[in-house]
Amino acid sequence: MLCVAPERFDVAAALAHYAEHGYARLGRVLGDEGLHALRERADDLMLGRVVYPGMFFQPDAPSGRYEDAPLGLGWQGPSLDYRKLEKLELDPRFLAWIENPLFERIVHTRIPGDIVLYRAILFHKGQAGGSNLPWHQDGGKLWGLTRDPELQIWTALDDAPLDGGCLEVVPGSHHAGRVTQLGGVIPEDRVRAESAESRTVPLPVQAGESILIHNHLWHRSGRGRPGLRRRAFSACYMSVDTTCVRKKKAPRVFHPVFRR
């Protein structure tokens, strides 16, 4: 699936930028064949042509507001209006991308020991524009872990232009850690206090580009461009020593991906 040589890729430069700023562009790393395969499979899953028991589906909000996105509904029949799909490690095509040798080099350089997957997730903004995603961090009590993961790798399956749902970040914001113990959406008063709007850096990308993202980096995305879909895939990696501490359900078991 890769369109770059993993053994010659400058991992050190990318990880140095990631350490300082909380993100790093890898550029185009997913080739045309892989791009076609993942786009096709994303639509297969949304339309029910390929089914894996236990996958998570979240429909989008017709209003385009993150706050209005329904929770707990799951699969609602064939549709290209799902906002989010999780557990994509169940699919061989997505798993092949999760486990590609470039990502393995990057992850092993940053995280010691054996590696498991916290989540593999498709974010989708449909032809109506999809939903906005407000400033947030990925971690905290919402994630139910002994410690927050650090590294996720986000890959664009469609172009994400400036006015079409691209990622936006506040560089360096990861250094301060989590804003709240709960994690997730950042309260408006903190957004104002940190002057996030004046510090925002947009990250427009073309299909096939990947970006490293620190889980504590402030990031968001706006609505997509009407008539233009925006599919993006994110894999969050963590040490095998990280465990689930939730009490209401059985603790999660995480999919192993890389071994030393």
Going from the first residue of the chain to its last (260 residues), give the mean pLDDT of each consecutive group of 10, the final group possibly shorter: 97 98 98 98 98 95 86 90 96 98 97 97 95 96 95 98 96 97 96 97 98 98 94 98 91 94
Quick one: pLDDT at residue 72?
Answer: 79
> Is the pTM value of this prediction over 0.85?
yes
Which pLDDT value is given to residue 248? 84
Tell me if 151 sits within 8 A of 107, measured CB to CB: yes
pLDDT of residue 68: 85
Write out the H or E segment, with its range, that includes residue 21.
helix 11-21
- In this prediction, residue 23 carries a pLDDT of 98
- Residue 246 has a pLDDT of 87
Q: What is the pLDDT of residue 65?
A: 86
- Judge whether 34 and 59 are in contact, CB under 8 Å: no
What is the pLDDT at residue 69?
84
User: Domain 11-60+78-254 has what CATH class?
Assistant: mainly beta
The pLDDT score that the predictor gives to residue 175 is: 98
* Domain assignments of the chain as residue spans, ordered by start: 11-60+78-254
Other CB atoms within 10 A of residue 162 CB: 12
Per DSSP (E only), the strands in 70-160 are 82-86, 115-125, 133-137, 151-156
